[in-house]
Chains A and B, each alone.
Chain A
Amino acid sequence: VVLQSTPIKSNDVRVPRPRPGQALVVHRYGAEHVKAVILHPDDFAELRESSELLEQLSGTARPEMGELAVRVHRRGESPEGELIEDEASVRRLLGL
């Protein structure tokens, strides 16, 4: 599932301002119970990008391949030229 975000107006909450690269971890009943993590918007954007990348790689959010994409992919993977394996021809092409 892609990381979702829910906007909250700044008037409705009081949160400290994190620096880029810093995660402010809000505890509840001690350090082992994390209630929330406050990130700088740049770090959050990076995290979200990673989440979207994961979804794309795992296929669940990847756009379906159209006929053209399949054809282009197949063409890229199919040998279409003449396979040169005669030693004299190989050497000639390589200028040896």
Chain B
Amino acid sequence: LTLAAGEAYWGIVPYTPQAPFRIHVRDAAPVEISSAAPIIDGLRKGGDAEFGFVVRAKARPLLLLSAQSDPRVSDLFALRLQRLGELAPEERRRIREQREPLLYHLRPESLPGMGQECAAMVSAPIRVHETALDTRDCLGQLDREELRRSPSVL
């Protein structure tokens, strides 16, 4: 399998961890901590101790920014896709007119597998492991020209 920049797939994307943090414990409900400092203090006190964190995640369509860089390292960079159908008509219009610099409108023809218009969320590129992608179906692919015309992060 060769993944290429500009291709889109469904992937499992965890929400960015933020307070309150939920620490996994065996056979009990997670321990909730309201800030990072006590966790960092505790882990540093514990030497090379590590906690398991309970983090929510969801299946999301992703646009790959990078091709597979090295078979020994399976990390990829990606942008999350926002389906325009979930937004208000005025918001959709602003995105189509490229008036939202951090929401880059993608031509529906480029991503036929999505079934609807999308915008790439340029504000926050994410890192994704290739095993977190469902590579059975490529949702579509932006061509090099479309990538070139896109905002700087793309």
Q: Which residues of A contact B (CB under 8 A)?
A: 46, 49-51, 53-54, 57-60, 62, 64-65, 70, 73-74, 79-87, 90-91, 93-96
Chain A residues lying within 8 Å of B147, measured Cβ to Cβ, are 54, 58
Which B residues have a C-beta under 8 Å from some C-beta of A?
5-6, 23-28, 31, 33, 38-39, 41-43, 45-52, 65-70, 72-73, 75, 77, 147-148, 152-154
A-B pair number, CB within 8 angstroms: 90
- Complex: A87 Cα to B153 Cα, angstroms: 43
Q: Is the CB of A87 within 8 A of B31?
A: yes
Contact among B24, B43, B48, B153 for A85, CB-based, below 8 A: B24
If A57-B77, A58-B66 touch, whether A83 touches B33 (CB-CB below 8 Å) is no
Kindly name the residue among A54, A85, A86, A90 whose own CB sees the greatest number of chain B CB atoms within 10 A.
A90
What's the nearest-Cβ distance from chain B to residue A96, in Å? Answer: 7
Contact between chains at B66 and A59 (CB < 8 Å):
yes
Contact A94 B33 (CB under 8 A): yes
Do the beta carbons of A81 and B70 come within 8 Å of each other? Answer: no
